């Protein structure tokens, strides 16, 4: 696993960060707007956003005196690529089973 994938998965392991990420994925938002919908303070939301940003899952842009956070497609692509390898392996196993070319499963004793 590459370092940036591990960082992204670690960042998303926290339920509050995952909620923030999902909210930002729906629509770009500022810290205050996110804090209104979460049971944590603005400073806590800012800290969670910093972790998500360091993991390349979100990026920010200035809008007046505030910053607006949105999903960073590059980081999301890395996470998708990580999971894609498992999906491709599963599809290959399914194909082999459907075609009858899969090796027999040996039971452990």
0.85 cut: is pTM over it?
no
CA 76 remoteness from chain centre:
6
Supply the pLDDT for residue 84. Answer: 83
d(CA 3, CA 37): 31
Rg (CA), the chain: 19
Q: What is the pLDDT of residues 33-89, one digit of tens each?
A: 999 999 999 999 999 999 999 999 999 999 999 999 999 999 888 888 888 877 766
Structural domains in the chain? Answer: 3-99 (1.10.10.10)
CB 28 within 8 A of CB 70: yes
d(CA 78, CA 85): 11
């Amino acid at each position: 696993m590459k370092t940036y994938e591990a960082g992204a998965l670690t960042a998303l392991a926290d339920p509050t960060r995952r909620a923030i990420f999902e909210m930002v994925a729906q629509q770009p938002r500022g810290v205050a707007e996110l804090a209104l919908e979460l049971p944590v303070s603005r400073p806590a939301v800012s800290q969670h956003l910093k972790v998500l940003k360091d993991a390349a899952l979100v990026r920010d842009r200035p809008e007046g005196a505030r910053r607006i956070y949105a999903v960073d497609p590059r980081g999301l692509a890395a996470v998708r690529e990580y999971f894609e390898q498992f999906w491709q392996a599963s599809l290959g196993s399914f194909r082999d089973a459907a075609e009858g070319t899969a090796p027999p499963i040996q039971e452990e004793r």
